[in-house]
Amino acid sequence: MATDHTPAMREPVRWYTGGPSGARRLINRLRARVAEQQRLEAHRFLEADMRGLWREACAGVGLCQYVDNAAGMTVRTPRFGGLRVGPAGTSFTVELMPGGEPADVEAHALRLAHSLGFAGLRVAPLGGRWVRVVLFEVDPLASTFALPHDVVGRADAPILLGRREDGALVEHALASPGHIAVQGQNGSGKSQLSYGLLAQLAAAADVLISGSDITGLLLGRAWDGTAHRAHQVTGSKDLTAHAAHLDRLVGWMDDRLDTMPPRIDNIAPTVQTPLVLVVLEEFPGLLRAAQAKDRKLAERITSAVLRLLSEGRKAAFRVLMLAQRFEANAVGGGYARDQFAVRLSFRVPAESLAMLHGDDARRLGPEHANTEPGIAYLSAPGQDCVRLRAPYLGGYGAYCDRITRHGRREDTEGRAA
């Protein structure tokens, strides 16, 4: 009997794609899925590499614990969490070791970042022992950045000091307790920082910029016509005028202390009682010139400055002193130097760095002695010897334009407007 072994023909399965345009959409979706799988696979490989590099880097800088157990000696490092790579940059989470603090990672930030192939890193607390490590591909100190055009309207509003090497901005409210000391060689960036600070404060309604400027530049002619000019003395021809002006400021401070309301131990700045910023530009030069003319005149100037430094905080007086070196005998003695809470050092010899910031900064001296203009070390409450780059306002002409444009004026009756 004959049988037919020919297999039955089946109709091919036809997917409905909605026509030619639907087929293209399907192909694009499949391509996107393959690309996503490839991206995830590459991300897993990168995360594994970063985890290994992180562990080796932590062990290399000593950010680890050695645990002796039955299997032998093991090394424990802060645990690498999840890696995040995107348009905002590269970052990953880390679980600190028991007893660890974010500052432990920050202390080795540059060496850890370089081991990972990046220029720097910033540590941001998340919760508990977890932190986020944000990596920077470009050194924030390597290039200048412009001072924003915003001006400060109040004494308690933060003013910009600079940008740290981890990319974070460093700010300081003038109303916060603490005088400001700035040192640096000629051309190191000291003047640029001063330009930026005063340009931000010139329009504040409750700040009066006073002081003594033997150079006649920082408190120069750009301040003519402003409410601040009557409280400034410039030039080196009449040194007695500088001493008399500082004496007047001390008398003003004493009047405030004598009339302080009951149960109040410091004055809050207001428009009627402004915070007085006493700018002492190249103060060692003023002292040397006074000593050459009359030793008693130099002692008079030193005494007035010492009183402003020691008692000014309660009366809403702040001192901004600028010098090439903060040697004790150049700024009125070691007691005067100790009154500055906020200290910035641009390029100076190693000994000068330790002189202002203490022995902890001595190891930084050789590097900082040859640093680029505009880069400074900062010591302040909560900020111990961090590097920053001061914002760039422009040349001296740009500074004068800012003061002329934004400097607070007086009305027709002589009151500050």
List the domains of the chain with CATH numbers: 75-138 (no CATH), 158-406 (3.40.50.300)
Question: Residue 306: what residue type?
Answer: L
Give me the mean pLDDT over the 59-78 stretch: 87
CB atoms within 10 A of CB 364: 18
pLDDT band at 13 (very low <50, low <70, confident <90, very high): low
pLDDT band at 218 (very low <50, low <70, confident <90, very high): very high
How far is the C-alpha of 317 from the C-alpha of 253, rounded, in Å? Answer: 7
Q: In the predicted model, what is the mean pLDDT of the chain?
A: 89
Q: Inform me whether the pLDDT recorded for 417 exceeds 60.
A: no
For residues 351 and 14, which has the higher predicted lDDT (pLDDT)? Answer: 351
Q: Inform me whether the pLDDT recorded for 63 exceeds 80.
A: yes
pLDDT at residue 23, rounded to an integer = 73
pLDDT band at 138 (very low <50, low <70, confident <90, very high): confident
Q: Inform me whether the pLDDT recorded for 172 exceeds 80.
A: yes
Tokens representing 249 are 């400021």
pLDDT band at 6 (very low <50, low <70, confident <90, very high): low
- The helix/strand/coil state of 13 is coil
Percent of the chain's residues with pLDDT above 90: 65
pLDDT at residue 18, rounded to an integer = 58
How far is the C-alpha of 147 from the C-alpha of 128, rounded, in Å? Answer: 36
- Highest-scoring range by mean pLDDT, 96-100, 139-143, 300-304: 300-304
pLDDT digits (tens, 9 = 90+) for 362-393: 888 888 899 999 999 999 987 777 889 999 99
Burial track 69-85 (b if 16+ CB lie within 10 A, e otherwise): eeeeeeeebbebbebeb
Q: Inform me whether the pLDDT recorded for 245 exceeds 90.
A: yes
Strand pairing partners for 120? Answer: 136
- Highest-scoring range by mean pLDDT, 116-125, 148-157, 292-301, 329-338: 292-301
pLDDT band at 4 (very low <50, low <70, confident <90, very high): low
pLDDT at residue 7, rounded to an integer = 62
How far is the C-alpha of 6 from the C-alpha of 399, rounded, in Å? Answer: 96
pLDDT at residue 16, rounded to an integer = 54
Give me the mean pLDDT over the 15-44 stretch: 79
Residue 189 counted as an annotated binding residue:
yes
pLDDT digits (tens, 9 = 90+) for 80-118: 999 998 887 899 999 999 989 998 998 898 899 999 999
Helical residues (DSSP H) of 164-282, grouped into ranges: 190-201, 239-258
pLDDT at residue 84, rounded to an integer = 92
pLDDT at residue 414, rounded to an integer = 45
Residue 82 counted as an annotated binding residue:
no
Residue 191 counted as an annotated binding residue:
yes
Residue 184 counted as an annotated binding residue:
yes
Is the CB of residue 65 less than 8 Å from the CB of residue 75?
yes
